[in-house]
A = this chain, B = another copy of it.
Amino acid sequence: MDNMADTASEALPRDFEALRALILDRRQSLPKRIAQVAAYALDNPDEIAFGTAASIASSAGVQPSTLIRFAQHLGYDGFTSLQQVFRERLRERTTSYEERLTVVRGEGDDDASNRRIVDGFLAAASKSIDVMSRNLDDETLDRAIDLLNGAETIYILARRRSYPVASYIAYALGKLGVRSQLIESASGLSPEIISFATSKDAVIAISFSPYASATVEEARVLSANGVPVVAITDSAFSPLAQFAKVWFEVAEADFGGFRSLAATMALAMGLTVGVAELRRGRKGKKSANSKG
């Protein structure tokens, strides 16, 4: 009773993240069964949101009364008010874009068609991000960044649709103090620039079907010259995948024939900043992060 008085003085978490932090903070000081509930709650928040005290208790392997004690330990006056927080969490999640889109499609056929177009691109971007978030392989990423970290100059190879990504990488690397060279067609100097690259350098090549022949050819030459290639492409059958030491398969959703660049952009920024981080501070091995 008294030991929960001081905690009641702090405002009770009304949102899930704060509650989560509170639970993790108290984890050590909770009684065994209560801690068991706490762990279950953080692992199965949806169950807490929808289940009944009895069903949750059964799933968590405790008595229903323990749930109430758990809530009271945290300062809530009962299980119900704790449950509200878990429900709010689900409420606040914004509607997914897929869902929103189908809604939009169903209504007004003619008007707001411009809005529908933008929504389409937003949905494509969102989906692409979602897919990448699930499919990206940590180890591939680490290898790519290690490889790029060792390079004196990073050459960036991309044409047409992929070019915006390349220009963003070049911009970011420049801001981060990493030497880089963007290969673009306009200057007409691509062959000369490429001939400077050595095995001490590295290449980021970006190309999606239908693959720009210039990008493929240049990647081939560079690879043959011993310059390691990191490729971002859309398929294992991509010509780029053959020449690459490390390659990422990125599945971008499309809308109206134009594929999103959102996932590729995020990956590109990840590579860029990852290299920059390695070079200052996190040098070599990754370690010594203080806390979360």
Chain A residues with a Cβ under 8 A of chain B: 16-17, 20, 24, 46, 49-50, 87, 90-91, 93-94, 96-97, 99-100, 102, 105-115, 117-122, 124-126, 129-130, 132-134, 136, 138, 141-142, 145, 160-161, 163-165, 167-168, 171-172, 186, 255-256, 258, 260-263, 265-267, 269-270, 273-274, 277, 282, 286-292
Contact = CB atoms under 8 A, between A and B. Distances in A.
B265 A261 contact: yes
Contacts of A164: 164-165, 167-168, 171, 265
Q: In the A-B complex, list the 4 residue pairs whose CB atoms are closest, starting with the nearest.
A: A118-B270, A164-B164, A121-B266, A164-B168
Given A94-B130, A97-B133, A110-B286, A105 B270 contact: no
A101 to B, nearest CB: 10
Nearest to A169: B164
A265 B265 contact: yes
In the complex this chain forms, how many copies of it are found? 2
A113 B171 CA distance: 23
A95 to B, nearest CB: 8
Contacts of A108: 289, 291-292
